[in-house]
Amino acid sequence: MLVVEDEKEIRELLRRYLERAGFTVVTTGSGAQALTMVAGGVAALVVLDLGLPDVDGVEVLRAARQSGQTPVVVLTARGSVEERIRGLELGADDYVTKPFSPTELVLRVQAVLHRVNFAAEPAATSFGEGRLLIDDARHEARWDGGLLELTPTEWGILSAVASVPGRVYSRYELINRVRGYEFEGYERTVDSHVKNLRHKLGGSGPDVVQTVLGVGYRLGLRRDP
């Protein structure tokens, strides 16, 4: 995290509070140096004072938004509504006006990062014109809109065959992918897990997880564009 603030006491105060909250913090009082650091991608978030002595903080804000869409929490003594609106229009994710509570600023930083990380989560992958949805981030699968109540092994098998639709996975590949190479169980136990998985997929189960005789299993659905 990068803190850009020309007043040393405030800069150090913010550093202490943010580090106490578990963040790794670098600081600078120079807008020019901040531009270099933002361009170098040193920060997952920037706490930025707009009133810098050498470079207008707005330039740093613009650079942060153009450099990988780095989130920015603006910190400034400019208290007018117009200035706050301007900062938000230029891409600030939040706005804190001096004087401020360091604890409040930490909470705002955490909230911004939560929103950014939530938005960055990959969307669920869709197969078969939306009939099957697999959401790796939430460890969930849905069939025809209904949540599938899968065991860890069933989830692992479905996730494996869906990783490359149409590719045939041997029983050996599946059991080791699901349980790890230390697993000493017999490969044919995969068959019983596939049977249960197909049952939960209803009448279409055998078409979703297809058997390739003498080889193994594959996903019988295409990944949606």
98 in the same domain as 150: no
Q: What is the pLDDT of residue 182?
A: 43
pTM here is: 0.54
CB 113 within 8 A of CB 45: yes
166 in the same domain as 72: no
102 in the same domain as 16: yes
177 in the same domain as 163: yes
Position 65 confidence tier, pLDDT thresholds 50, 70, 90? confident
93 in the same domain as 63: yes
pLDDT, one tens digit per residue, over 115-144 is: 776 545 556 889 999 999 998 877 889 999
Of residues 179 and 6, more confidently modeled: 6
140 in the same domain as 72: no
172 in the same domain as 107: no
165 in the same domain as 57: no
Q: What is the pLDDT of residue 122?
A: 59
Q: Where are the beta strands (DSSP E) in 72-221?
A: 72-76, 94-97, 125-127, 132-135, 140-143, 146-147, 169-170, 209-212, 216-219
Helices 189-200 + 171-179 axis angle, to 10:
80
146 in the same domain as 116: no
Q: Has residue 30 got a pLDDT over 50?
A: yes
Q: What is the pLDDT of residue 79?
A: 58
In a domain, 53, yes or no: yes
Domain boundary (99, 120, 141) is at 120
Provide the token pair at 74. 């603006």
Give the Cα separation of 158 and 59 in Å (integer).
49
In a domain, 66, yes or no: yes
In a domain, 206, yes or no: yes
Number of folded domains in the chain? 2
Percentage of residues of the chain with pLDDT beyond 70: 84
Helices 152-163 + 189-200 axis angle, to 10:
90
Buried (b) or exposed (e) across 58-69, using 16+ Cβ within 10 A? bebbbbbbebee
In a domain, 160, yes or no: yes
161 in the same domain as 102: no
* Residue 36 burial (CB count, 10 A): 12
Nearest to 75 by CA among 98, 52, 58, 55: 98
Q: What is the pLDDT of residue 81?
A: 66
Q: What is the pLDDT of residue 199?
A: 94
Query: What amino acid occupies position 64?
Result: A
Of residues 209 and 71, more confidently modeled: 209
130 in the same domain as 100: no
CATH number for 186? 1.10.10.10
Q: Has residue 183 got a pLDDT over 50?
A: no
Q: Has residue 167 got a pLDDT over 60?
A: yes
CATH number for 66? 3.40.50.2300
Domain boundary (87, 102, 120) is at 120
Provide the token pair at 153. 């092994």
In a domain, 109, yes or no: yes
Whole-number mean pLDDT of the chain? 84
Give the Cα separation of 193 and 159 in Å (integer).
13
Please state which of the ranges 55-69, 76-90, 147-161, 182-196 shows the lowest mean pLDDT. 76-90
In a domain, 138, yes or no: yes
Which residue range forms the structural domain that includes residue 144? Answer: 125-219
Domain boundary (54, 87, 120) is at 120
In a domain, 225, yes or no: no
67 in the same domain as 130: no
In a domain, 224, yes or no: no
Q: What is the pLDDT of residue 84?
A: 66
